[in-house]
Amino acid sequence: MLQIGSLQVSFEQRSIEKDGVSVRIGARAFDILEVLYRANGAILSKDDIMDAVWPGQIVVENRLQVHIAALRTLLGVDRDLIKTVPGRGYLLIAKGAKASEAPVTPSTPSTPDIPAQGEAPAYIATATAPELPALPLLVEPPIGRAVEIGQLLERLERSPATTVVGAGGIGKTALALHVANEWHSRSGRAICFVELARATSDDAVLALVADALKLPADDGRRHADALYDALAGSGCLLVLDNAEHVIDVVARLVEALLVRNSSVRVLVTSREALHIRAESVLRLEPLAVPEPGLATQAMLAYPAVELFLCRARSLAVACAADEKSIALAADICRRLDGLPLAIELAAARVATLGIEGVASRLDDQLDLLTGGLRSALPRHQTLRATFEWSYALLDAPSRILFRRLGCFTGPFTFDAVCAVATEPGMSITVVVSSLGELTSKSLLNVEFHGSIATYRLTGSTRAYAMEKQRDEGEVNVIASRHMRYMRKRVEENRLVIAEGGQDGTDVSARLSLDDARTAYDWAFSENGDPAQGVALAGALVGTLLDASLVHECFERSRRALDRLDTLPAGSVDVVCEMRLCAACASTLVYVGENVETALSLWQRVLRLAQAARDDAFTTRALWGLWNTTLSVADIHASIRYATRIQQAAEHGDSRSKRLLAGAMLAISLHCFGEHEQARERLEYAVAALGETGLENASCGTPGMEPLIFCYGTLARIAWLQGKPAHAMQLVEASLDPARRDTLEPTLSHLLATVAVPVALQCGDLQAATRYLALLRSQVATHRFAVWEDYAQCLSVQIDLHRGVDQASALERLEPALQRLVARGFRRVIAPFIVLSAEALAHAGRFAEAAGRLDDAIKRSESHSEYYFLPELLRAKGWVALQHARALGRAAHGERTEREAQARRDLNAAMALASEHGAVTWKLRAALDLAAHYIDGDEPAQAVALLAPFDALVDLGSPAPDIQRLVQLRQRPGTAGAPGVRTRSLQPSIPDADPEQGLTQSLRPKMSTGAR
């Protein structure tokens, strides 16, 4: 074996021993050592070394420097055997010769590579690096710290003592080293770097300073006063690194220096400030992290992401090359709160686990984030060690408080600290002192909102606090306190605001929603308190509804209700039970559950409210029942509930409630076919609500913003009454407030049932497509299962309007429609039933088409949405006409019978549409019947049938039904008939098929409204 310093090395067996004990080193570092050894004392450039160790690879210089630093650390006292020759490269002093024998020109000072975190550069005077060269090492600036570097250099110019304060692992040492280099480069003054990590006493601190000044052990200048004088007279920049555990000693030392020489410059890094008169403090914050949802290029601009990718790619060059990986990297940085050490440790794991593996394991940060550089200080090699260093510096009360604060997920107030983390006998003085201790040692973040302070632990710090809490066996006790406190605060404030809050909100109410979630989860855990959890859920669901967290509201309310049913009677109060039932009933339809379940839940609320004589919840239950019966298309029931709401409102003193009750009754009347009466009532309600400023009045049910509902229903009525232009104006009027300040699921409801179908039927295909895209975006964001299926049906409707193949359209339509029906959701799905029936007819499946329409007609005649009945009858007549045409002349008797039945259905549709005042339904039926007359060589009857519509509709409208009317009136035998206006530009009409007859070219498209 070869002897290199204190190491015994075998290049053949690739082994290294030190003092007879085998030691391990990375494969690349071993290769570098062999390359340097075989150079026989010659200087090798960095390129030569990298070409030998990483042949054919592109390698950043920092990787070589990291391995060189690891080799020097392994050599220990013989670290100077590896020399850096400025501008030329590296050399290994031959065969273990002493450093003094190195063949380096005396006038050319050696400049080592970039140090590992926590390691001083060799040119700096330290206890283990005696040389003090004239030229500084050009250390690259720490990523994301350009502003802080400038601030520190400025402060060194004007302030004698500057302290960089920050949490462990935030990069204080790296920043100080770079600034010291920059200071040396600018001023030419020497640097005296003192690493204080191993100092445990006053004498130890003084000894380390003396060693850095190269004072011999027996030198009389090593005692305090002489040492201060030597430092004061040296004119150097004194860098005291990691001073928090000897902070009092360092404070006295710096003050003594400044008394002797005010031109002295001292730079200190510590987890707390010195608190001396001449001190300037720079608090180092975590690296900036991107918000969720940013574009990839925007994410890459954030320093936390840049650091992560830089470190990860130095170990795994090809990692994080795609957008998904970069988004995961950004999420990792966000969850690590931008802490540089945690980010570097996480990046080091990418080479083993991949980015997805690291992201999926971050819940166990303290065990995952290990494996720092061997050359780093021990407390920088794992995240847990970093926190243990700080925890050990706390006094007993501060340790107790710190670990108990781990229960808080988000920001919290002083009241929260007293309620959860303290003991009854603990004085306020001790609490305040301990909070100050935690803040000063960078374990606790504090923010001020006016005169109110809020506190927060970073995610990594909280993980360590919870680990200590588990070690002490306090988890269940503190979790129970936390849950009771959260329930009390949520009940008092009604609103839990996520971190950051809203402008104008009382800061004391800005509790983190995550804290309430944490309390809830513990309550329903194995060691939790389910009764308290149910009570907390009852207080929490209102906030979740306000925040449009529909899925979460449903899941938490349903779980609480399931547990409530297993608890003894009286475990929670009746208000809590009503809140849970109402929240579950309000949200289950959107997440894809059966709508019928909501009816039973609202009935339960109504029974409880009436028994408790709770008028507010009685009204809320009636609102819920009214809305749910609309969803299941039970219009008769909805009218009954709307009437009860109106009767209750008439006995109250709230004008707004009376107006809202009237509007809800009007909506039910519209669904029953009473369009004109509904229009008058709704227009009155809209005007009155606008005057009283109740644009955002709410019924307490998600998706039920009354003013928006009113505008949406008026838009549908306007279209039915043959006024498409006015209908589109009302669509915009309904969307304006929804887009501005209405939360989901109101917007999705409005887009699905009003905006998309009305725009399509009014001939604005571009608007319909735009609205559908927005609907799908909202559905994807909020995971609304019912609106996802609804959007699929609307998509088929639009595609058919564009001429997409009908067979493929039916294949896409059927599953979505079946899911809607299976869930019991029948609100405004009659158009999709007509669509599917017409697609079946085009496929020659006439019996299936007729059967589907018959079922829908029976439901509509009994209690479903009655105002669709004219359209269902029209579709049935149209299907019969298609069936008759398909029979051909051979089946004359059956064909005649089906044509007669078709005429009866179409006439019935027109008669019922006239009764409802639904001009559009009547026009559609008339168009189908007129086309049949023309096909039977009866154009006069067609003209007579269509003539009355001249006074009812605007023939210049782009609405498909009106365009079809104009086209039909211009066919041979009908053109020029009295009452028909001429247009300068008419839509092109396809030539008639001589075998199919005139009607074939005028056959209506699927029920997209394009008739």
**What's the per-residue H, E or C state across 808-843?**
HHHHHHHHHHHHHHHCCCCCCCHHHHHHHHHHHHHC
pLDDT in tens, 651-666: 877 888 888 889 999 9
The whole-number average pLDDT for the span 484-506 is: 63
DSSP β-ladder status, 82-85 and 89-92: antiparallel
Instruction: Give me the percent of the chain exceeding a pLDDT of 90.
Output: 40
pLDDT level of residue 502 (50, 70, 90 thresholds): very low
pLDDT in tens, 715-737: 999 999 999 999 999 999 888 76
The whole-number average pLDDT for the span 773-801 is: 92
pLDDT in tens, 159-172: 899 999 988 888 88
pLDDT of residue 379: 46
Tokens at 555, concatenated: 């899941």
pLDDT in tens, 241-250: 989 888 999 9
Whether the per-residue pLDDT at 116 is higher than 60: the answer is no
Q: What is the dihedral of CA 778, 783, 787, 793, to 10 degrees?
A: 90
For residues 625 and 775, give the distance between their C-alpha atoms in angstroms, rounded to a whole number: 26
Whether the per-residue pLDDT at 110 is higher than 60: the answer is no
Q: Which of 400-404, 530-534, 746-750, 836-840 has the lowest mean pLDDT?
A: 746-750
pLDDT of residue 22: 81
pLDDT of residue 93: 79
> How would you list the strands of the sheet with 15-18, edge to edge?
2-4, 7-10, 15-18, 21-23
Whether the per-residue pLDDT at 995 is higher than 50: the answer is no
β-partners of residue 279 are 161
- Dihedrals φ, ψ of 569, to 5°? -55, 140
- Residue whose structure tokens are 């950004």: 330
pLDDT of residue 124: 40
pLDDT in tens, 7-53: 888 887 788 888 778 887 878 888 888 888 888 777 888 888 888 88
- Dihedrals φ, ψ of 645, to 5°? -60, -45
Average pLDDT, the chain: 82
Q: Which of 947, 346, 826 is nearest to 939 (CA)?
A: 947
DSSP β-ladder status, 161-165 and 265-270: parallel
Bond from prior residue into 745 cis (ω within 30 degrees of 0): yes
pLDDT in tens, 613-639: 998 899 999 999 999 999 998 999 999
For residues 751 and 823, give the distance between their C-alpha atoms in angstroms, rounded to a whole number: 20
pLDDT in tens, 408-442: 988 888 989 999 999 887 889 999 999 988 988 88
pLDDT of residue 139: 52
For residues 523 and 919, give the distance between their C-alpha atoms in angstroms, rounded to a whole number: 58
For residues 477 and 470, give the distance between their C-alpha atoms in angstroms, rounded to a whole number: 11
pLDDT level of residue 121 (50, 70, 90 thresholds): very low
pLDDT of residue 739: 54
pLDDT in tens, 822-851: 999 988 899 999 999 999 999 999 999 999
Tokens at 122, concatenated: 């060799």
> Does the pTM exceed 0.75?
no
Instruction: Tell me the CA end-to-end span of the chain in Å, nearest whole number.
Output: 94
pLDDT level of residue 504 (50, 70, 90 thresholds): very low
pLDDT of residue 704: 56
pLDDT of residue 89: 82
pLDDT of residue 263: 78
pLDDT of residue 97: 37
Cβ-Cβ contacts under 8 Å for 106 (sequence gap 6 or more): none
Other Cβ atoms closer than 10 A to 741:
9
Whether the per-residue pLDDT at 576 is higher than 80: the answer is yes
Q: What DSSP element (H or E) covers 299?
A: helix 296-300
pLDDT level of residue 949 (50, 70, 90 thresholds): very high
The highest-confidence range among 345-349, 363-367, 892-896, by mean pLDDT, is 892-896
pLDDT of residue 533: 94
Q: DSSP state, 83? A: E
pLDDT of residue 401: 94
Whether the per-residue pLDDT at 86 is higher than 80: the answer is no
pLDDT in tens, 743-756: 688 889 999 999 99
| Residue 836 CB burial class (10 angstroms; 0-12, 13-18, ≥19) | buried
The whole-number average pLDDT for the span 225-239 is: 81
Sign of the CA dihedral with 770 first, then 772, 776, and 781 last:
positive
pLDDT of residue 442: 82
Q: Which of 109-113, 457-461, 566-570 has the lowest mean pLDDT?
A: 109-113
Cβ atoms of 61 and 46 closer than 8 Å: yes
Tokens at 364, concatenated: 């166990």
Q: Please, what is the angle between helix 574-587 and helix 550-564, to 10°?
A: 140
The highest-confidence range among 131-135, 372-376, 509-513, 922-926, by mean pLDDT, is 922-926
Whether the per-residue pLDDT at 404 is higher than 90: the answer is yes
Whether the per-residue pLDDT at 186 is higher than 60: the answer is yes
Tokens at 795, concatenated: 């998509």
CA distances to 81, 411, 589, 599, 829 from 632, in Å: 84, 43, 10, 10, 10
pLDDT of residue 922: 96
For residues 614 and 620, give the distance between their C-alpha atoms in angstroms, rounded to a whole number: 10
